[in-house]
C-alpha cells in the first residue's frame, strides 16, 4: 500500500468539498489523490487490547486503508488518522473544541495541506432520542446531516447495533451500519449512493471514526 499520497484536487468544489491550494509550493496539478478517496465501501474496526484507543479502516477485500489512534492524556477528543500502522504519514486530525461533548463540535483538518475539511457537530437535544449530527463546511455552515435510523429508542435500553444515514438535503448519500459481534466491534460504511462524489470522503470517514470513538467511550468495551 502507498503512504496515502498527497490529497489532490477533488472532482470540483461542492458541499463539504473545498478546493485545494498547492502544497509546499507544488503546483496543484502535481498532487495525486490518495487511493482511499476512491473507495465507497469500507469496514471500520476497533482494535482491542491497545493502550490508546485505535481504529482501522479496511476496504471490501480486507486491505488496510487508514489507521486511527486516539491521542493519549487529552481531556478533549483528539483523533489522528494515518496512512498505516507505522504512523509515519498523518493525514487527518479530528479534534473537539470543548471537553463536554453533549453538543460538541469537532474540527476535521487535512494535515498534509493544513486545510480545514469541515466540522462535525452533535445535535445534543435531538440525540437524546435519536442520534443526529450536522455536517458543516469549514465556515461552520451546515450542508448535511447524519441521523440514526431504526429502533433508536429500543437501543437506549438494549445493546442493539446502530444504523445511520448520511444525507445532503433530502438525498441519502451513504449509510453506516454497526455489526452485531460481541468480540470485534466493527461498522460498515457504504457511500456508493453518492455517485457524483458530493460528500468529501475525508469528512465522511472522519464521521465514521468519531462514531466508533464515542461508542467505545460510552460502552467501555
Q: For residue range 152-181, what is the model confidence (pLDDT) as tens digits?
A: 666 666 777 889 999 999 999 999 998 877
- CB-facing half-sphere around the CA of 70: CA atoms within 13 A: 23
User: Does pLDDT of 58 surpass 60?
Assistant: yes
pLDDT digits (tens, 9 = 90+) for 134-151: 999 999 999 999 999 876
Residue 214's pLDDT is: 83
pLDDT at 45: 93
Closest of 3, 51, 66 to residue 201, by C-alpha: 66
For range 182-201, the mean pLDDT: 90
Query: In which band, very low, low, confident or very high, does the pLDDT at 37 lie, cut at 50, 70 and 90?
Result: confident
Domain ranges of the chain: 38-219
Q: What is the pLDDT of residue 86?
A: 95
Return mean pLDDT, the chain. Answer: 79
- The architecture in CATH of the region 38-219 reads Alpha-Beta Barrel (3.20)
Q: 122 pairs with which residues across the strands?
A: 133
| pLDDT confidence band for 128 (50 / 70 / 90) | low
Q: Three-state DSSP class for 7?
A: coil
End-to-end CA distance of the chain: 30
- What value does the CA radius of gyration of the chain take, rounded to a whole number of Å? 17
Q: What is the pLDDT of residues 77-123, one digit of tens each?
A: 899 999 999 999 999 999 999 876 667 899 999 999 999 999 999 98
pLDDT of amino acid 126:
59
Rounded to an integer, the average pLDDT of 173-202 is: 90
78: nearest Cα among 206, 218, 200: 206
Amino acid at each position: 500500500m502507498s503512504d496515502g499520497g498527497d490529497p489532490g484536487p477533488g472532482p470540483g468544489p461542492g458541499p463539504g468539498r473545498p478546493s485545494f491550494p498547492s502544497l509546499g509550493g507544488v503546483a496543484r496539478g502535481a498532487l495525486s489523490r490518495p487511493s482511499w478517496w476512491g473507495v465507497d465501501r469500507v469496514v471500520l474496526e476497533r482494535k482491542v487490547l491497545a493502550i490508546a484507543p485505535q481504529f482501522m479502516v479496511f476496504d471490501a477485500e480486507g486491505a488496510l486503508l487508514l489507521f486511527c489512534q486516539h491521542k493519549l492524556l487529552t481531556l478533549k477528543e483528539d483523533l489522528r488518522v494515518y496512512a498505516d500502522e507505522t504512523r509515519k504519514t498523518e493525514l487527518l486530525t479530528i479534534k473537539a473544541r470543548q471537553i463536554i461533548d453533549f453538543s460538541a463540535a469537532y474540527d476535521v483538518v487535512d494535515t498534509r495541506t493544513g486545510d480545514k475539511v469541515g466540522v462535525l457537530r452533535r445535535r445534543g437535544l435531538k440525540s437524546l432520542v435519536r442520534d443526529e449530527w450536522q455536517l458543516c463546511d469549514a465556515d461552520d455552515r451546515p450542508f448535511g446531516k447524519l441521523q440514526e435510523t431504526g429502533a433508536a429508542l429500543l437501543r437506549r435500553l438494549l445493546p442493539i447495533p446502530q444504523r445511520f444515514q448520511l444525507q445532503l438535503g433530502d438525498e441519502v448519500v451513504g449509510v453506516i451500519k454497526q455489526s452485531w459481534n460481541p468480540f470485534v466491534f466493527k461498522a460498515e460504511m457504504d457511500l456508493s449512493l453518492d455517485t457524483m462524489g458530493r460528500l468529501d470522503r475525508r469528512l465522511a470517514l472522519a464521521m465514521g471514526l468519531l462514531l466508533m470513538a464515542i461508542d467505545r467511550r460510552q460502552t467501555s468495551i
